[in-house]
Structure 1
Amino acid sequence: MSISCFSLLFCLPFFTFLTIHSKPVTSPYLSPTTIFPHYQNMLKTFKIFIYTPNEAFTFNTPAESLFYASLRNSPFVTHDAEEAHLFFVPFASGLSTRSIARVIRRLREELPYWNRTLGADHFYLSCAGLGYESNRNLVELKKNSVQISCFPASAGKFIPHKDIALPPFPKSNVPQAPANRTARFLGYFGHSGVKESSLVNELVNDPDFLIESEPSDQLSYTERLASSKFCLFEYGGDVSGIGEALRFGCVPAVITDRPIQDLPFLDVLRWQEIAVFVPVGGVKELKRVLGRTYGDRHEQMSKLGVKASEHFVWNRVPQPLDSFHTVMYQLYLRRHTIRYPRRERD
């Protein structure tokens, strides 16, 4: 039997799919044999140089603030820029693009590190993300430097394979997930009081779904997660509970009208094994996809999701493999940068 292809490149995804799914997946990680040795090496060797900001500043979101505080107090920080793998450019949330351009221009003129790679070994925090501007300093920051932004990212403000999405910061600290769970509902949708959702209007009277606004206490919230097979999230809406859903074995079902390229930890996790992505199409399409998944592999996805959930935990004092350290691991994977030819300054 012979198989012809216009290009081997077009054949590879098909054969890769067959290889991946020819046996049960037992790990939520893309590279289960290498992630932990590489993680340990990161803890021993990875170094970050933080530029000194012109003045004190704050971030607008808890995830940004906690990441920045954790980074500053971490052993990753070095005061010797020559031994740094990456450079962090700090600036406040909501800073104007003109002011950000001045920050980059100062780095370009006063220190040698930006010019060595045109910013390719630099990274910055911006929950909203930066758009495309004509200013050279902003162009290099956007195209070359790693942006760490919030999930979900604003349209057009996230570059896949370069940028990194912060995992959602939970609204409350839920207790430990129960060892045994009885899932009575096909899906739970905590829609945070949004009344203009057509999906909510369709599902509210369906006995297979538990549809509620933001719960008033932690106990009721955890009971809803534990009693549901799937937890529904509308991409672009409130996704703050996705980490808790994973921890409770409630498989996230993300409803979206387009491919999602800004998921947290895309370099680390097999998202297709811990979550379901449902095209926008109403209740009939939703129940079809969830019903098929529940019948085929829900139990395995639930177990893998519980394993993956430790990476979605934000700690005031960082702990191994938590959100802070997993974001740092993604930065570590980007430590080898392309050396661009140096250009004359404008």
Structure 2
Amino acid sequence: MATNHLSLLLLLSLFLTSTYVQPKPLPTSPYLSPSTVFFSDYQKMFDNFRIYMYTPPISFAFTTPSESLFYTHLLNISSNPFFTQNPNEANLFFIPFPPDLSPRKISRLVRDLRVNSPFWNRSLGADHFYLSRGGIGFASDRNILELKKNAVQISCFPATPGNFIPHKDITLPPLTTSNHPREPLNNKTSSPTFLGFTKKLGQSSFIKELEGDPEFLIVDVDDDASEFDLGEIIASSKFCLFLYGTGGDVSWLGEALRLGCVPVLISDRPIQDLPLMDVLKWSEIAVFVGTSGGGIGELKGLLGGIGGERYDRMRGLGVTAAQHFVWNDSPQPFDAFHMVMYQLWLRRHVIRYARREEWV
């Protein structure tokens, strides 16, 4: 009997040992790849990445702040280490065209590239990229379809539904409009005053439901509150709520991260166009919820359950990530401009498509 008892204990011990799962270590950085890999690859970009820019068809300017700054930095050869005048040494090719260019003229532009540029023909544009605020939609025109399916599109966040191809296209980090710089918060600051804060924009039923709850602060965008006051409100809120895809204002996403307010992205469909999706581990710095279901009660329950070490970790990682949302008048290391360039760098290994003449 003693032998049988010992055998049972041994079997139980082996079972517990084999089924025990080592807990995953808590993330210490907001990056998808280990920090050492990210920083090493970032430096390789500076040493090796080269972009050739085609001559614009006409002189033009972009109207949105982030597009305008990105395009200005690309044009500024003296401060753009990635620019090359030799197309043979380029990794990628930039196609500049006005934001209001008609589909017919875009088609003509692609046709001219195919006729005159050997670099377009070797990949059907897969090593090219362009800038378009709302993105280009799919069309029956073969030139536009070629551009849409193959070239990397850089658009504003959030992208127009149907005009964004995940894993290929990129969105620009939104430009923070605050004129009152502040130091980022840290985990030792006092407890936030509000559970959640958001800007009121339009007549969202979801926001209307939140307005009656004292734990949430809703500020009308038409109010005369200064940007400094808005910064104070963000800093005093535990979570910052962003309505995605419903006309909500997402321009202050980077500001929320910088001031230690954990973003809550509200949408009933998957969000596949977040800025820096190739770089940041968004699941560790933001919360994703839908508008359907249990309504405000479910939202409060979800947010109320995020506290202690988990909340402090999300907040700290968000503050670290915020440096990549800053648009500087003169590009600085790891800022928004360089992180968009880094995402392009990650796309430099392109698939060589068959030539058009080989298509059936």
Q: Select 1:162's aligned residue among 135, 160, 168.
A: 168
SS of the counterpart of 1:233? strand
Q: CA deviation at 1:58?
A: 1.8
More moved, 306-315 vs 174-183:
174-183
Can you list the C-alpha shifts for 1:129-188, whole angstroms capped at 9, x where unaligned? 111011111111000000001111111000000000111112333421354354011001
1:191 is matched with which residue?
200
Give the superposition deviation at 1:60.
Answer: 2.4
Secondary structure class of the residue paired with 2:45: helix
Indicate yes or no: 2:218 matched with 1:211.
Answer: yes
TM-score, scaled relative to structure 1: 0.91
Q: Deviations over 1:33-90 (max 9, x none)?
A: 2110111111111100000012111212111111011112212110000000000000
Residue type of the alignment partner of 1:267: D
Q: How far apart are residue 289 of structure 1 and its match? A: 1.5
Q: Distance in 1 between matches of 2:218 and 2:88?
A: 55
Could you say if the C-alpha distance between residues 296 and 288 of structure 1 is closer, same or farther in structure 2, counting changes exceeding 3 Å? farther
Contact 1:249 1:305 in 2 (8 A): yes
Counterpart of 1:23? 25
CA contact (8 A) 1:311 1:321 kept: yes
Deviation (angstroms), 1:232? 0.4
- Which residue of 326, 348, 356 corresponds with 1:335? 348
Partner of 1:277, secondary structure, is strand
Q: Runs of 5+ in structure 2 lacking a partner?
A: 1-20
Query: Secondary structure of the equivalent of 2:231?
Result: helix
Aligned counterparts of 1:44 and 1:261: Cα–Cα separation in 2? 30
Q: Deviations for 1:192-241, whole angstroms, at most 9, x for unmatched residues?
A: 4x2x1112211112111111113621221111011100000000221011
The answer on whether the counterparts of 1:146 and 1:164 sit within 8 Å (CA) in structure 2 is: yes
Q: Which runs of 4+ in 1 moved over 4 A?
A: none
Give the 3 Å change call, closer, same or farther, for CA 174–270 of structure 1 in structure 2: farther
Residue identity matched to 1:210 = L
Contact 1:186 1:230 in 2 (8 A): yes
Residue 3 of structure 1: aligned partner: none
Normalized against structure 2, the TM-score is what?
A: 0.87
Q: Which residue of 1 aligns with 2:67?
A: 64
Which position in structure 2 is the counterpart of 1:9?
none
Cα separation, 2, equivalents of 1:241 and 1:186: 18
Change (3 A) 1:100 1:238: same
Q: Tell whether the 8 Å contact from 2:184 to 2:260 is kept in structure 1 after alignment.
A: no
Name stretches of at least 5 consecutive residues in structure 1 with no aligned partner: 1-17
**Structure-1 residue corresponding to 2:82:** 76
With over 3 angstroms needed to count, the CA separation of the structure-2 counterparts of 1:296 and 1:199, relative to structure 1, is farther
For 2:267 and 2:179, how far apart are their aligned partners in 1? 27
- In the alignment of these two chains, the number of paired residues is 326
1:201 aligns with 2:203: no
State which of 301, 304, 308 in structure 2 corresponds to 1:291.
304
Q: Which amino acid aligns with 1:184?
A: T
Q: Distance in 1 between matches of 2:332 and 2:309?
A: 35
Letter of the structure 1 residue corresponding to residue 264 of structure 2 = A
List per-residue Cα deviations over 1:82-134 (Å, max 9, x = no partner): 00000000011121111101111111111211000000000000010111011
SS at match of 2:334: coil
Which moves more between the two structures, 219-228 or 83-92? 219-228
